[in-house]
Amino acid sequence: MELTVHNIPFVFSPDELARFLGYEGFNSVPKPANEQGGQATKVEVFQAMLGDDTAILDGAYMLSLTTLEQKVMDMDSGWKKEIAAVQEAMRKAATNADLFALTQQVVHIEEHLSQFRDVLKITDDDDDDL
């Protein structure tokens, strides 16, 4: 059986669906014969039990599905918040990395200018001696 919550399909196996619907002794139910005369599969037995009517999903089952849908929405909201937090942390890390690289370049430029000034002072001192 397939259930869709917010455009996300969930597929239940016959065993999972039987457990969800409360058919604990589903495995012990005698299997009726199918059209070919052999034993019916679990799927055929379950489909025969459900029929085409979905009225079985009323009441407590609909409440369970509503609860499941709410949990999915809560998880989705939580994941979106966590993703936003990770993206923000990555932006900050990238900004910090850029600032560190720029700071390193400024330090190298200042060191180079300092060496250049020292060279200029030496040449100025040499010119004064002549």
Six token digits for residue 105: 């370049």
Domain assignment present for residue 119? The answer is no
Residue 44 in tokens: 């055929």
Using DSSP's 3-state secondary structure scheme, residue 73 falls into: helix
Q: What is the pLDDT of residues 79-101, one digit of tens each?
A: 899 999 998 988 888 888 888 88
| Residue written as token pair 């196996």 | 13
Q: Is residue 23 part of a domain?
A: yes
Predicted model pTM: 0.37
Per-residue pLDDT for 130 more than 60?
no
The three-class DSSP label of residue 63 is helix
Share of the chain above pLDDT 90, in %: 10
For 103, the token pair is 């700071």
Q: How many domains does the chain have?
A: 1
Q: Are 31 and 45 in contact (CB under 8 A)?
A: yes
Q: Which domain holds residue 41?
A: 1-57
